[in-house]
């Protein structure tokens, strides 16, 4: 089973890449991922006279980084490309079906008005792949995650990913929606009671927020939901600062009719301020389920089920547990896990059915064990 198959880690030797490598290792350890340590050299470095020397030096540096991963039994490989950094990262991520691009905020540092470098900002803006930007000073493994939602498809995708990462790392998840009040107009033609109108709209928004959250299974994680008032960009940045947020998940709008990848004004402003590390998702999810087709024994199916359950893929976990029961209809651990998942997802009827089935099996096993002991004792 793969949830995060390939993590691309572009290494900039001029910046501190320690956090990148450490986080990549944590993610790979949790999701059995492969890490690609990636470095781009200028096109001039391909000249025959200097290419062997430079490529050998860079390969050696990447090898040193890889040794820290190897010690923790993390799969990795090294890749060197030549040319424009942004173009090479973009093309490699598409050609190799990368699941995540993990960047330092300083990559391509150039504009001092922003906390993100030029290369990082361009990749956030134009890459269809999820991009995780690390802000120095935040916890590598996030203790507190923030996901602002506006009920759109991009924010739905962001929240689904935030829930899975929060569940994986046992993080506290804050889910917020921001109500921006109507501003009074100076036009005398408009006879509007803004206080009443804002009260009405805010109540409708709160009801919509509660209904929206019902579409997500947040069982098994610690979380808080809040409806806030203010300008979205300013409110998100302020909330992140006041609550010591380590990681923000935000969605972007994907491609327009002109095939340009758009961020959305709020996401773009938050990215430039970068109050914490961020994950920006567009058309692709950070975690995508890929089942291996060579699973043949009960233990592997059961192991898959546990990983799927821990990450929140409940339907897929149920499928794997049912396969376990097809192989061995007396497999008690699979039944116990099915009961847990059904209770988590609110399917009480199925949970009770499996419980009764489990009790019947345990009674039979108990009776047969007693019979066995009696026969042994009395030599029957």
C-alpha–C-alpha distance, residues 199 and 201, integer Å:
6
Of residues 307 and 131, the one with the higher pLDDT is 131
C-alpha–C-alpha distance, residues 273 and 115, integer Å:
6
Instruction: Give the residue among 108, 117, 164, 158 at the shortest CA–CA distance from 266.
Output: 158
DSSP per residue over 204-262, as a string? HHHHHHHHHHTTS--TTS-EEEEEEES-HHHHHHHHHHHTT-SEEEEE--EE-TT--EE
Question: What is the average per-residue pLDDT within 284-298?
Answer: 66
Q: Does residue 208 carry a pLDDT above 80?
A: yes
Listed range (27-41, 172-186, 199-213, 291-305) with the worst mean pLDDT: 291-305
CA 154 to chain centre: 14
C-alpha–C-alpha distance, residues 301 and 77, integer Å:
28
Residue 220: other Cβ atoms inside 10 A = 17
C-alpha–C-alpha distance, residues 88 and 86, integer Å:
6
CA 12 to chain centre: 24
pTM greater than 0.75 (yes/no): yes
Whether 331 and 267 map to the same domain: the answer is: no
Whether 43 and 173 map to the same domain: the answer is: no
Domain final residue pick, 102, 119, 136: 136
Q: Does residue 141 carry a pLDDT above 80?
A: yes
Domain final residue pick, 266, 290, 314: 290
Angle between helices 153-169 and 18-31 (to 10 degrees): 80
Whether 105 and 154 map to the same domain: the answer is: no
As for how many domains the chain has, the answer is 3
Q: Does residue 364 carry a pLDDT above 90?
A: no
Whether 274 and 171 map to the same domain: the answer is: yes
- Cα→Cα distances 90→246, 251, 311, Å: 27, 19, 28
Domain final residue pick, 235, 261, 290: 290
What is the model's pLDDT at position 374? 46
Q: Does residue 323 carry a pLDDT above 90?
A: no
What is the model's pLDDT at position 326? 78
pLDDT band at 258 (very low <50, low <70, confident <90, very high): very low
Q: Does residue 183 carry a pLDDT above 50?
A: yes
Whether 132 and 143 map to the same domain: the answer is: no
Whether 93 and 179 map to the same domain: the answer is: no
Task: Find out whether 175 and 147 touch, Cβ atoms under 8 Å.
Answer: yes
Instruction: Give the residue among 282, 283, 301, 281 at the shortest CA–CA distance from 291.
Output: 301
C-alpha–C-alpha distance, residues 266 and 254, integer Å:
14
Would the CA dihedral through 20, 277, 154, 220 be positive or negative?
A: positive
Whether 54 and 19 map to the same domain: the answer is: yes
Domain that holds residue 211: 138-183+192-290
Of residues 291 and 265, the one with the higher pLDDT is 265
Helices then strands (H, E): number in the chain? Answer: 12, 12
Whether 122 and 4 map to the same domain: the answer is: yes
CATH code, domain with 131? 3.40.50.620
What is the model's pLDDT at position 373? 56
Task: Find out whether 4 and 100 touch, Cβ atoms under 8 Å.
Answer: yes
Whether 153 and 41 map to the same domain: the answer is: no
Instruction: Give the residue among 128, 210, 133 at the shortest CA–CA distance from 177.
Output: 210
């Amino acid at each position: 089973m793969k949830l995060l198959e390939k993590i691309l880690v572009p290494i900039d030797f001029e910046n501190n890449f320690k956090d990148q490598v450490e986080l990549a290792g944590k993610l790979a350890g949790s999701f059995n991922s492969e890490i690609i340590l990636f470095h781009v050299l200028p096109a001039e470095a391909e000249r025959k006279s200097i290419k062997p020397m430079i490529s050998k030096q860079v390969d050696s540096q990447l090898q040193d980084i890889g040794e820290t991963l190897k010690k923790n039994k993390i799969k990795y490989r090294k890749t060197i490309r030549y040319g424009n950094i942004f173009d090479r990262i973009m093309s490699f991520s598409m050609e190799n079906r990368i699941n995540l691009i993990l960047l330092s905020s300083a990559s391509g540092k150039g504009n001092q008005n922003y906390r993100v470098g030029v290369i990082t900002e361009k990749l956030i803006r134009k890459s269809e792949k999820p991009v995780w930007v690390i802000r120095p000073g935040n916890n590598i493994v996030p203790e507190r995650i923030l996901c602002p939602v506006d009920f759109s498809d991009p924010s739905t995708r962001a929240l689904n990913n935030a829930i899975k990462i929060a569940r994986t790392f046992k993080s506290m998840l804050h889910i917020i929606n921001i109500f921006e009040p109507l501003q009074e107009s100076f036009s005398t033609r408009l006879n509007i009671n803004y206080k009443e109108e804002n009260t009405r709209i805010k109540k409708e928004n709160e009801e919509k927020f509660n209904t929206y959250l019902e579409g997500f299974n947040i069982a098994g994680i610690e979380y808080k939901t809040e409806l806030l008032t203010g300008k979205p960009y300013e409110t998100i940045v302020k909330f992140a600062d006041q609550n010591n947020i380590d990681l923000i998940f935000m969605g972007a709008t994907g491609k327009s009719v002109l095939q340009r990848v758009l961020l959305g004004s709020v996401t773009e402003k938050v990215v430039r301020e970068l109050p914490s590390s961020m994950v920006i998702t567009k058309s692709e999810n950070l975690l995508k389920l890929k089942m291996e087709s060579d699973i043949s024994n009960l233990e592997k199916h059961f192991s898959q089920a546990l990983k799927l359950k821990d990450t929140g893929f409940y339907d897929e976990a149920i499928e794997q547990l049912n396969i376990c029961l097809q192989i061995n209809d007396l497999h008690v651990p699979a039944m116990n896990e099915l009961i847990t998942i059904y209770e988590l997802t609110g399917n009480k009827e199925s949970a009770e059915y499996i419980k009764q089935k489990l009790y019947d099996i345990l009674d039979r096993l108990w009776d047969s064990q007693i019979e066995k002991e009696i026969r042994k004792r009395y030599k029957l």
